[in-house]
Amino acid sequence: MAIAYITHSDCLRHDMGHHPERPERLSAINDRLIASGLDMVLRQYDAPEVDRGLLNITHNPLFVDQVHDFAPRDGLVWIDGDTAMNPHSLQAALRAAGAVQLGVDLVMKGEATQVFCGVRPPGHHAEQGKAMGFCFFNNIAVGAHHALQNHGLERVAIVDFDVHHGNGTEDIVSGDERILFCSTFQHPFYPHSGYDCIAPNVVNVPLPAGSGSAAFREAVDLYWLPRLKAFEPQLILVSAGFDAHQADDMAGLNLVDTDYAWVTRRLCEQAESSADGRIVSSLEGGYELHSLARSVEAHLKAFLGEVA
């Protein structure tokens, strides 16, 4: 079955000026998909706007109203020191969350087995009532709630290999026994969270700066995979951040393209065991354009069973 690729031109129009989270990220990915021939095997979809009710389940409804109210007619409005909205940002954020909603629909209806959402802005730093860290709405948490609320699932796993801890996802799902959240991230590092969580449904594995492939793979083998096996998720959602790559100077971990292929295959094996293969992955970080594009290629080829 074809892999679904969900994106939208509105996601290119969100622009925070001279900023690492820039439209060229998606352009680099799209160029790589064409150059690698992957565009020929992907079934492409336009991301819809997310359902407002889903946003209100995932986030505080007053916060959702505030994000809509902040949207400017011109110029930039800064939400925090890292996160700004231009006149197109709200639409892009609604499409980014809507992409994951659609991805869940596709895998649950059997129209795709794996989905990659090539969207921006990212989402995993967005908390129940706070936008931060380049993020407005928590795209992946929206997908989890959609699967539970509207598709009748009982167990959904979220895995996050971004170099930054997904504080927003943890804030939203912590204590919800229907959702297992597994995360690796550099620590100490922005957003300075995740190292002290005691929620039983959260598996955080902080990694010190300088950690590389061996440490990352050991963390997945020792901490993620046993919990995923025991949990038997009916759907796996992936916060796919590629900024732990050694070429990305945003942080200090030293992963390489093949690490993303390796972890993707491990997740596919679990999905095949408990979830009929169902995985929905959504772009989070990754700011060095060449390594970002190559890593997404490796991630998608691993869905096809290819591991270099």
Q: Counting runs of H as helices and runs of E as strands, what totals does the chain give?
A: 10, 10
In sequence order, what DSSP letters do the residues of 23-49 get, joined into one string?
Answer: THHHHHHHHHHHHHTGGGTEEEEEPPP
Peptide bond into 208 cis (omega under 30): no
Q: At what angle do helices 61-70 and 89-108 cross, to 10 degrees?
A: 130
Q: Is 70 exposed, middle or buried (CB count within 10 Å of its CB: 0-12, 13-18, 19+)?
A: middle
Rounded (5°) CA angle 289-290-292: 65
Peptide bond into 188 cis (omega under 30): yes
* Residue 129 DSSP SS3: coil
Length of the chain: 308
From 125, 146, 165, 187, the catalytic residue: 125
59 is catalytic: no
What do you get for the CA distance between the two ends of the chain, in Å? 22
In sequence order, what DSSP letters do the residues of 208-239 get, joined into one string?
Answer: -TT-BHHHHHHHIIIIIHHHHHHH--SEEEEE
* Residue 159 DSSP SS3: strand
- Residues 259, 262, 268, 274: is their CA dihedral positive or negative? negative
Residue owning tokens 């979220």: 158
By annotation, the residues acting in catalysis are 125
